[in-house]
Amino acid sequence: MRYRIRHQTTYQYSEPASLSQNELFLHPRETLFQRVLKSGLTIEPEPQYMHDRTDYFGNRATVFMVQHSHSELTITAQSVVETTPRTLPSAESTVPWETAVRRIAACEPPKGLYAKQFAFASPLVTVGENALAYARPSFAPGTPVLMGAVDLMGRIFTEFTYDKSATTVETSVEQVLETRKGVCQDFSHLAISCLRSLGLAARYVSGYLKTYPPPGKEKFIGADASHAWLSLFVPDIGWVDLDPTNNLIPGESHIILAWGRDYGDVTPVKGVVMGGGVHTLSVMVDVTEKADGI
């Protein structure tokens, strides 16, 4: 599949801002099943300082600074990405979860050391008894690790309610467990917390999901949104993505932007502003299929 993605973020200020400095994670990643054909950024007003860097996790980040008075800031990222089908392992054939924990703890090659860093708590993902207790029913002794993770994903999908008004970016895993409500970011953090509490390695994935309008209805421009899911490290297999918000293993319709320990590592747009008074934020994301060409 080939997609064109347009992601526009606009800040409007009640008073002129004198300076705005931001970090962006809006360039899709290259992977074995995802090819980036085009990726670019437009920022208005034009920044006086702007450069790209590669972060610790291999994501492409853009840092910029607007150093003159402005009442509005608009960031538009446009990309063309081609995705291909992923080869999915048989969940039943994966190693028992206890074996996976031992192998990750031992940093077994070739990717054990890299995976182990995703087995610990991080700023937005706690590791504790409540998450462990929630994970346990999916991981009976000897359960193949991917089978357990898929079961956990299904339980989160069934037992939690998608509610945009229930949480914020600061909502903790403990609060989500208590209220049983949240959005894709919350469900991903919860699943990661459960897996890490067992000693498994799981990372947070930021990206997009191609959506389709109801039958007979036209798709609204800008109706798509940023999405989030997680990836589990499975020994002998590698990283396997899981989407608890939709209870599925991601495929060609999932487009990866970046990955890290949690949302804080790969926030699409974050920064600071001097002045500006009260600001309003609007985000529009549009993902469309593209037949050919760039």
CATH number of the domain residue 34 falls in = 2.60.40.2250
Both 106 and 132 in one domain: the answer is yes
Omega of the bond prior to 28 within 30 degrees of 0, cis?
no
Domain contains 294: no
Both 197 and 54 in one domain: the answer is no
Say which CATH number the domain at 177 has.
Answer: 3.10.620.30
Q: List the one residue out of 4, 45, 9 whose CA is nearest residue 25.
A: 9
Domain contains 262: no
Classify strands 181-182 and 161-162 as parallel, antiparallel or unpaired: parallel
Both 43 and 170 in one domain: the answer is no
Please state whether 170 falls in left (phi above 0), alpha (psi between -120 and 50) or beta: alpha
Both 137 and 234 in one domain: the answer is yes
* The pLDDT of residue 221: 54
Both 145 and 284 in one domain: the answer is no
Both 134 and 163 in one domain: the answer is yes
- Range list of H helices, 5-128: 97-105, 112-116
Are 77 and 7 in contact, with CB atoms under 8 Å apart? yes
Each residue's pLDDT tens digit in the chain (294 positions)?
Answer: 999 999 999 999 999 999 999 999 999 999 999 999 999 999 999 999 999 999 999 999 999 999 999 999 999 999 999 999 998 889 999 999 999 999 999 998 888 889 999 999 999 999 999 999 999 999 999 999 999 999 999 999 999 999 999 998 889 999 999 999 999 999 999 999 999 999 999 999 999 998 876 676 665 554 577 899 999 999 999 999 999 999 999 999 999 999 999 999 999 999 999 999 999 999 999 999 876 655
Both 78 and 109 in one domain: the answer is no
Angle between helix 184-198 and helix 145-159 axes, rounded to 10 deg: 140
* The pLDDT of residue 217: 67
Domain contains 160: yes
Both 29 and 101 in one domain: the answer is no
**pTM (2 d.p.):** 0.94
Both 78 and 98 in one domain: the answer is no
Both 118 and 227 in one domain: the answer is yes
Both 146 and 36 in one domain: the answer is no
Domain contains 258: no
> What is the extent of the structural domain holding 182?
91-250
Number of separate domains in the chain: 2
Are 27 and 77 in contact, with CB atoms under 8 Å apart? yes
Report the distance separating Cα 278 and Cα 287, nearest Å.
Answer: 30
Tokens at 4, concatenated = 């064109």
Amino acid at 272: V
Sign of the alpha-carbon dihedral angle for 11, 176, 133, 139: negative
pLDDT one-digit tens code per residue, 108-128: 888 888 999 999 999 999 999
- Mind giving me the DSSP string for 187-228? HHHHHHHHHHHHT--EEEEEEEE---PPTT-PPPTTBB-EEE
Q: Please, which residues bridge with residue 206 across strands?
A: 228, 258
Domain contains 13: yes
Both 130 and 51 in one domain: the answer is no
Classify strands 34-44 and 70-83 as parallel, antiparallel or unpaired: antiparallel
Domain contains 260: no
How far is CA 211 from each of CA 44, 221, 245, rounded to the nearest angstrom?
28, 11, 13
Are 291 and 44 in contact, with CB atoms under 8 Å apart? no
